[in-house]
Structure 1
Amino acid sequence: MLSKWFRSFLLLVACAAGPALADEAQIWFNAGRPTAEARQAVDILLSAAHEGLSPGDYQAAMLDSQLSVAEQGAMRSDAEVGALDATLTSALQRYLTDLHNGRIDPRQIHADFDVPLHAPFDAKAFLLDAMAAGRLPEALREVAPRLPMYRELRQALARYRALVNHPAWQTPLPPLPRRKLEAGQTYAGLMLLAQRLEALGDLPVGTPLPERFDGMLVTGLRAFQERHGLVTDGVLGRATLQQLNVTPAERVRQIELSLERLRWTPLLNAPRMIVVNVPEFVLRAYEVQDEQVKVQLTMRVIVGKALDTHTPLFNADMRFIEFSPYWNVPPSIAREETVPKIRRDPAYFREQGFEFVTPSGQVVTTLAPAHLDAVLQGGWRIRQRPGPKNALGDIKFVFPNHDNIYLHHTPAPQLFERERRDYSHGCIRVQEPVGLARFVLQEQPDWTVERIQEAMEKGESRTLRLKQPLRVLIAYSTVVVKGGRVFFYPDLYGHDAMLEQALRERPTGLPPRDQPKMEAE
């Protein structure tokens, strides 16, 4: 039988809807009994966690319980049937909208994507069309982002959710001997370490446990380190131990946040794209054909410092390449770094190839205190001439944006060898500029590798306009699946934490949270 609470709720919905509710065409009931599609719909809501969503947001358990009551013919009135039908429709509409558009506005977490947010999506019309075609479950699955990465993350979510109650995480790893564990040493936690690595897939199942930290156990730890953005030295130190102690439940939440981001990250809105994933420190250039992503180029990048100069998240069209570019020192950098360095060491001005530019465009190459004062007052600016010490290297990829962010080479390529690579003032340094230029100029075949290198090495600034703009996306995902392996990266800028907070503050459940309290049974 219906609970008093739910009977009161159904009557409240019926009264709010007015007398037309009982007469309105019902979607999920026929002659007062639920259809097979009603059970399919509730089952989909119950499995919302498979998509990284919360079944509670759609009152899945309550709808499951009351649908069971209705299946037994225990509903007393048409109003109750109509209200349950309307509630199930409302829940499905919210579920579909969340799955299609995401649950929050990405601008809440500093993502300025130049695409329509929450594009029009008529969830009810979609439901009716799917039911008319007799393919409700299949149609609902198609609402999710049609991206290989989304499918892979969804599979990773199931894999890590299956580990939530694994015994390997029921007790903590013992303290490390002498702050780190190196090959050949003994350790009281070898068995537990092996269990965790085996459960995570970094150690083959059934690997014999050595008496000391050695052999396959070291190899397994290196695999774990590689998947977590750590130095792959096979040494169990503080940073590696910290990642080993992250529970599967925490990884589940990290994957859920990454799935949420994919719902509103515009990864398929152009036939050719360059995507930088900030926490991974990686750039990928790819083509999209028939919704299939074909990666053409992958390289390391250096992004803005986590402490104070974050690289912003946005998308824009690349329109120019500058060979042997000038570097116009941003006023903030000139004020806080460049001018103080020159005052401490006047030779720095000449060694770095700096010059002044007046408001009229006149170039001044002599150094004087008054010139530095003019820079600090905002009238003059400092720029760096093309050359081996130029901060932009010998090529710059320009996609006009409000933050004046661009891709460029660097005179300090040794930084690409580090695992953590947040060293810039916000712009993005690329490891393989020639390969990137060739991808960008793919539709201009006269720009061969040799010609690109010649323009970069010439030392004379030249701007080349692209025949076709190329979309550049600066994105943020702390979980990536590569070759079937799940990689986790630190929340470099705290955006995952902000997303978590935004989701917690979002209203949940149906009906709205300010509904009147009902009498308990």
Structure 2
Amino acid sequence: MKILYPLVAVVILFSVISCNKKAEKKEEEIKKTSEVVVPELKIKIDSSAIATFYQTYPKLEKFQNEVLALYKKKNSTQLWLDNKGIVEFANTLFDKYKRLDQEGLKANFPYNDKINPIFEHTSENKLSQIETDLMVTNLYFYYVQKVSGVDEKTTKSLEWLLPRKKVNYQVFSDSIYKKATINDDKKSKMFSQYYKLRDALHQYREIEKKGRWKTIEVREDFKSLKIGDSVGTVGQIRERLYITGDLKENSKSNICDSTLIASAKKFESHHGLTPKNTILPEHIAEMNIPVSDRIKTLIANMERCRWIDPELEKGKEYIEVNIPEFRLYLIRDGKIAFVSPVVVGKMMTQTVIFSGMMNNIVFSPYWNVPTSIINKEIKPGMAKNKNYLAQKNLEWNNGAVRQLPGKNNSLGLVKFLFPNSNNIYLHDTPAKSLFERENRAFSHGCVRVGKPRELAIELLKQDPSWTPERIDKAMHAGKENWVSLKKKIPVYIGYFTAWVDRDGNLNFYKDVYKRDESLIKLLTEE
């Protein structure tokens, strides 16, 4: 009998399991028959509802046309709500909006008091379903506008005439109801410099947060520091250069050595200063610019990057001039093929920020003197000296004045033309000493090139008949000679006071035309 006990136990166990399964199955059947099928949420949002919304929230009116088109395409139904409430894509949008500061932007949606309760569970949303959906849609277009930069009308008012990156609202609209990503981390979406400056912004904000940017203290009679000098200021300089990445290791020594001087030279070259073998007061002054000011500069230049069409840098060959840097680059196949210092327009005659297509090189050029210079300089000179024109190598030409070709011609021995309404071009100059200066804003608006012969050689590589020897002969012929390029070359004249170079070094340049402050004000006043 004892042997039967385990068998009975097994039979009982299987009976219990079987009963439980039958009970569960019956319970599921009852649950299914009692469930009510909830129809898909459909909220009508037509033109009338949209018009009423903008009467209540007029600060969003600029998005009305895009919003109308979007809802019409969606058959006038909601975009952000379903039976469970706010869709996940809306939460992603709100999270991106709240983190706009990481893009150097302020999250200042005009109706924050209305949008926050929709997503923050600590407060109750008082909006109707129609208002809620429309408010989120307007947040979306607000976010798109922010990350795309200020509008083209505004950039033109800031005298920025480079080709603008086009904002395709249709693409953004499609992404809403396709629940596509709104992340902007794909490098192809933005001008590549934007991402580099954004990384620098995060780095400098971390420095500011940790309070590491201490003022370097010097005595009033401070003249310079050289190798062998021992003073407390040296240790402070080491700390600053270590923070900026110009010094790899901080020995914390107060003795100035060759390592410190080499690091200071790196700092100077990355801040538009001429590297010296001594550390001078102007170098200390540059190091003492507050980190908060550096952050503002990064934010201003990130905004400028939003305006640049990323397709521009994909060109096979192009010339770029950065006005505050006083440098010209020839880019070929994505690499720097040639670099030259340049002189740009002074504050009263600023070089225009624009682009053009270079089509001609002119050797031994005439200089057609602008009417303003004729009136301000030449006519008064002629009134005082009857031989003024001959002494300046000038002549009348059909009622105008031009300077004859030659080494003393104001355009030098060669000019590079890209037709434009601003009458701006690149050219040589007899005033070579200006290229040795740190600040090179001296021209009437055109861009003077420090290495014009070398630039001509590079540009005419596309035509083997133009050898360096032939170019030299044409430059010194004393007779004007126009040469058409076989392939036009884009020229972009820009304005960036912060720039990460191809070696990964962050560079800051003087705001020669005082443009940063007004841009920062524009970005923060909305």
TM-score between both structures, scaled by the size of structure 1: 0.78
The answer to whether the 8 Å contact 1:46/1:60 transfers is no
Q: Distance in 1 between matches of 2:178 and 2:466?
A: 50
Question: Could you say which residue in structure 2 is the equivalent of 1:323?
Answer: 363
The match for 1:309 among 349, 356, 376 is 349
Deviations 1:330-361 (A, max 9, x none): 2222332344455556666434422222x3xx
Q: Distance in 1 between matches of 2:133 and 2:243?
A: 44
Higher relative contact order by CA 8 Å / sep ≥ 6: 1 or 2?
Answer: 1
Q: Distance in 2 between matches of 1:420 and 1:198?
A: 27
Deviation at 1:38, TM superposition (A): 2.3
Deviations 1:204-227 (A, max 9, x none): 23x222233333333322222111
Deviation at 1:155, TM superposition (A): 1.3
The answer to whether the 8 Å contact 1:46/1:61 transfers is no
The match for 2:408 among 385, 389, 392 is 389
Q: Distance in 2 between matches of 1:61 and 1:417?
A: 56
The match for 2:300 among 257, 265, 269 is 257
1:481–1:345 Cα change, 3 Å: farther
The match for 1:296 among 332, 337, 350 is 337
1:123–1:252 Cα change, 3 Å: farther
1:55 correspondence with 2:94: no
SS in structure 2 opposite 1:54?
A: coil
1:336 correspondence with 2:376: yes
SS in structure 1 opposite 2:225?
A: coil
Question: Could you say which residue in structure 2 is the equivalent of 1:67?
Answer: 119
The answer to whether the 8 Å contact 2:164/2:308 transfers is no
| Aligned ranges 1:372-387 → 2 under 5 Å | 380-387=399-406
1:14–1:409 Cα change, 3 Å: closer
The match for 2:80 among 21, 28, 31 is 28
Deviations 1:261-290 (A, max 9, x none): 1222356345532111100001112246xx
Question: Could you say which residue in structure 1 is the equivalent of 2:449?
Answer: 430
Gaps of 5+ in 1: 1-11, 360-379, 509-521
Q: How many residues align?
A: 456
Q: Distance in 2 between matches of 1:212 and 1:280?
A: 33
The answer to whether the 8 Å contact 2:192/2:310 transfers is no
Deviations 1:274-320 (A, max 9, x none): 111100001112246xxxx43332221111123x2211112122222
Question: Could you say which residue in structure 2 is the equivalent of 1:97?
Answer: 145
Q: Distance in 2 between matches of 1:402 and 1:106?
A: 18
SS in structure 1 opposite 2:169?
A: coil
Q: Distance in 1 between matches of 2:461 and 2:177?
A: 42
Q: Distance in 2 between matches of 1:466 and 1:190?
A: 54
1:268 correspondence with 2:311: yes
Question: Could you say which residue in structure 2 is the equivalent of 1:227?
Answer: 270
Question: Could you say which residue in structure 2 is the equivalent of 1:499?
Answer: 519
The AA in structure 1 aligned to 2:355 is N
The answer to whether the 8 Å contact 1:185/1:213 transfers is yes
Please provide the CA RMSD for this pair. Answer: 3.2
Question: Could you say which residue in structure 1 is the equivalent of 2:284?
Answer: 241
Question: Could you say which residue in structure 1 is the equivalent of 2:9?
Answer: none
1:435–1:112 Cα change, 3 Å: same
| Aligned ranges 1:34-49 → 2 under 5 Å | 34-49=86-101
The match for 1:411 among 430, 448, 457 is 430
Q: Distance in 2 between matches of 1:24 and 1:32?
A: 20
* Identical-residue share of aligned pairs (%): 29
The AA in structure 1 aligned to 2:157 is Q
Deviation at 1:476, TM superposition (A): 0.4
Question: Could you say which residue in structure 2 is the equivalent of 1:6?
Answer: none
Q: Distance in 1 between matches of 2:408 and 2:328?
A: 24
| Aligned ranges 1:131-146 → 2 under 5 Å | 131=179, 135-138=180-183, 140-142=184-186, 145-146=189-190
After the TM superposition, which of the residue ranges 466-475 and 96-105 deviates more from structure 2? 96-105
The match for 1:216 among 242, 259, 278 is 259
The answer to whether the 8 Å contact 2:320/2:491 transfers is yes
The AA in structure 2 aligned to 1:16 is F
1:432–1:44 Cα change, 3 Å: same
Q: Distance in 1 between matches of 2:215 and 2:395?
A: 59
Q: Distance in 1 between matches of 2:370 and 2:310?
A: 30
Between Structure 1 and Structure 2, the one with more helix by share is 2
Gaps of 5+ in 2: 1-48, 56-67
1:211–1:497 Cα change, 3 Å: closer
The answer to whether the 8 Å contact 1:318/1:400 transfers is yes
The match for 2:324 among 267, 279, 299 is 279
1:446–1:257 Cα change, 3 Å: same
TM-score between both structures, scaled by the size of structure 2: 0.77
Deviations 1:5-42 (A, max 9, x none): xxxxxxx9996379x99x95333332142333222222
The AA in structure 1 aligned to 2:420 is N
1:222–1:468 Cα change, 3 Å: closer
Question: Could you say which residue in structure 1 is the equivalent of 2:158?
Answer: 109
SS in structure 2 opposite 1:179?
A: coil
Deviation at 1:436, TM superposition (A): 2.3
The match for 1:199 among 231, 235, 243 is 243
Deviation at 1:186, TM superposition (A): 4.0
Q: Distance in 2 between matches of 1:261 and 1:136?
A: 24
Q: Distance in 2 between matches of 1:14 and 1:405?
A: 48
Deviations 1:81-131 (A, max 9, x none): 443332222112222233235456211212233x46755433642423651
Larger radius of gyration: 2
